Structure 1
Amino acid sequence: MKASRFSEEQIIGMIKEQEAGMPTADVCRKHGVSSATFYKYKAKFGGMDVSEARRLKVLEDENARLKKLLAEAMLDNAMLKDLKHKKMVTPAVRREAVAYLCEAFAVSQRRACSVIGVDRTSVRHVSTRSDDQAVRARLRELAAVRRRFGYRRLHVLLDREGIMLNHKKLRRIYAEERLQVRRRGGRKRALGTRAPMVLPSGPNQRWSLDFVSDALTDGRRFRILCIVDDYTRECLCLIADTSLSGLRVARELDLLMVQRGRPHTVVSDNGTELTSMAILRWSQDRRIEWHYTAPGKPTQNAFVESFNGRLRDELLNETLFTSLAHARFNLAAWKEDYNTVRPHGSLGNLPPAIYAKLNAPGMQWDGALEQLGSTALPPIAPPSPKGSNDERTLLSAG
């Protein structure tokens, strides 16, 4: 706003002259102002004395200063909220933040540095240090081969190759490349394979393991080890006990291999029993791949998870178990019914045991159900005689 060439005392004097009876045109001509300017002065200072006008001027100046301070504080807050980096530790990140604020909010470098709390000399500093690209590339190669080596051992290897570096500079480059060795957990666990799984194309190619828990009528908890063949969908075993350790799981797998043969892959989650040293030793001794699903991804073990849902819905939620022997008896009966009688939707409504026999080597689909004898499902009704759909046959039948 353009400052007035008249002070408050002069403006109030003009108004007093007009109020004393001097015509407005004469007052304007005397002081060299237009009538519009005079009436603007009168609207603002009319009825005031000099002290009140001075007080109004002070209040206006204070209000303008407070508005400016509020606008600057709001701008500073907006700049801090819009920063991409919450923590600015290294000088490179600080320079990037200052450049972003100067471009996005059209502020000076001094203003951006004061908002972030950065010294301007560190922002304006231009490094003359070499980038050491060859050293960085060789350091990454050595760290990829020697994954458990720290920067001290890598320093020794570089010295042997003739790359002489100060240990402090090597540590800085080592940290900038993010090659720090992560500390391992407290105990060694089975790692298994993390390769993508493919659907099995035959029996005993892949078994799935999981645990299901339930309670007896007296409140005691027990667990059930479920093992399923992913190709035939057969329930291979249901082992119920109050405690199922890794050694017990390995022993049950050995007994199952005597009956069924050796599987190619075993799939399970990351439970403590299944990642124990006993399972690690068992899989290495038998040379069987053990695949662990990703944490929080039960759908990667969908075959046994689906089986667990059927087991809980059809047996566990429908039966009150009075003892562990009672639970084992019912589990064995349900397993036999599941494998030989219960139709399975994904197998064309065939029981898993019959589907496995139909897909066994040398077994043909033609007449296979008749060869299975009593294990095959009985027909719902006898077949109709030949020609029973003929109109004359129907009429003669009555």
Structure 2
Amino acid sequence: MDTLQGDWKVSTRRACAVLRIDRSLYVYTSKRGTQAELTQWIKEICETRLRYGYRHVHVLLKRDGWAVNPKRVYRLYKELGMQLRNKVPKRRVKAKVREDRRPATHNNDTWAMDFVHDQLATGRKIRILTVIDTFSPFSPATDPRFSYRGEDVVQTLERICGQMGYPRSIRVDQGTEFVSRDLDLWAYQKGVVLDFSRPGKPTDNSFIESFNGKFRTECLNTHWFMSLDDARTKMEVWRKDYNPASQHPSVYVAVSNKVSCSSVCPAS
């Protein structure tokens, strides 16, 4: 149209008549907001109202003057990954409730933890809390006890966080120790997000599942544990042997360079 008007010096009405285009179609300007603006508005609503589905979001958009179809809101709502997960109890303040996971980008960004079951040579059952950093993957703890409660998990986490720092989030399953009030209160005080797996979906926490498989094959299935202290000692030996080989290349290179420099360059 612009080329025709520029080359032939004709009016818009004449150009539309030649091309058989309705003039109102050519001069029409959309009054609808851009997709980016609407998407950002939906995201802001969902971040402040965590339990709102797309229908409630649509109601708020209409109140704010958006003349938008609910099907369009639903499509953008799904594209943003804002679908609600299974409802979590009110008490779990630090639970993540939306599907917005992203890969870990640095150490202490995301941890994962779970329990492994075994027994002593006497037949007494033990439970081992295993923890890994999903970025490295470095294991800060394999802690065996006869029984675990929520406060025991907090005690173990405080010990290892005192050495490594606090993670941004921790991926856990729906076990009673992980949904306890003690762990939720600790996470709230320390600014840690508890990222719960969906029931019956072990792949939501695949990092710790993979680690536990190695742990069972290389440690639990190759040792007899005479006592709890004996189990703790043997598991700690395995963990220290596992960690250097499992560290992220950047971490391993930094440690190697530090060791090389200290061996070559005497202290001043």
Above 0.5 in TM-score?
Answer: yes
- Partners of 1:242 and 1:373 in 2: CA distance: 42
Is 1:302 aligned to residue 206 of structure 2?
A: yes
CA apart distance, 1:338: 0.3
State the Cα RMSD in Å.
2.5
Name segments (4+ residues, structure 1) moved above 2 Å: 187-191, 353-358, 368-374
> What is aligned with 2:116?
212
Q: Give the secondary structure class of the aligned counterpart of 1:209.
A: strand
The within-5 A match list for 1:55-70 is: none
CA apart distance, 1:197: 1.1
> What is aligned with 2:96?
193
What TM-score comes out, normalization by structure 2 length?
0.60
Which of 259, 262, 268 is residue 372 of structure 1 equivalent to?
A: 259
Is 1:263 aligned to residue 167 of structure 2?
A: yes
Kindly indicate whether the alpha-carbon contact (under 8 Å) linking 2:135 and 2:248 is maintained by their aligned counterparts in 1.
Answer: no
- Partners of 1:334 and 1:260 in 2: CA distance: 19
Distance 1:188 1:243, change over 3 A: farther
Q: Which has the larger radius of gyration?
A: 1
Deviates more, 1:230-239 or 1:253-262: 253-262
Distance 1:286 1:369, change over 3 A: closer
- Partners of 1:355 and 1:325 in 2: CA distance: 34
Which of 267, 284, 288 is residue 188 of structure 2 equivalent to?
A: 284
- Partners of 2:164 and 2:192 in 1: CA distance: 15
> What 5-or-longer segments of structure 2 have no aligned partner?
1-48, 52-86, 262-268
> What is aligned with 2:67?
none
Kindly indicate whether the alpha-carbon contact (under 8 Å) linking 1:188 and 1:277 is maintained by their aligned counterparts in 2.
Answer: no
> What is aligned with 1:324?
228
What TM-score comes out, normalization by structure 1 length?
0.41
- Partners of 1:293 and 1:373 in 2: CA distance: 42
Kindly indicate whether the alpha-carbon contact (under 8 Å) linking 1:189 and 1:275 is maintained by their aligned counterparts in 2.
Answer: no
- Partners of 1:355 and 1:320 in 2: CA distance: 36
> For each residue in 1:267-306, what CA deviation from the matched residue of structure 2 results, as whole angstroms up to 9, or x when unmatched?
1000000001101111111121111010011111111110
CA apart distance, 1:220: 0.3
> For each residue in 1:104-141, what CA deviation from the matched residue of structure 2 results, as whole angstroms up to 9, or x when unmatched?
xxxxxxxxxxxxxxxxxxxxxxxxxxxxxxxxxxxxxx
> What 5-or-longer segments of structure 1 have no aligned partner?
1-144, 148-183, 344-350, 375-398
CA apart distance, 1:222: 0.3
Is 1:335 aligned to residue 239 of structure 2?
A: yes
Overall identity of the aligned pairs, in %: 31
The alignment covers a number of residue pairs equal to 175
Greater RCO, CA 8 A, separation 6+: 2
- Partners of 2:152 and 2:242 in 1: CA distance: 24
- Partners of 1:207 and 1:370 in 2: CA distance: 26
Distance 1:326 1:287, change over 3 A: same
The within-5 A match list for 1:110-121 is: none
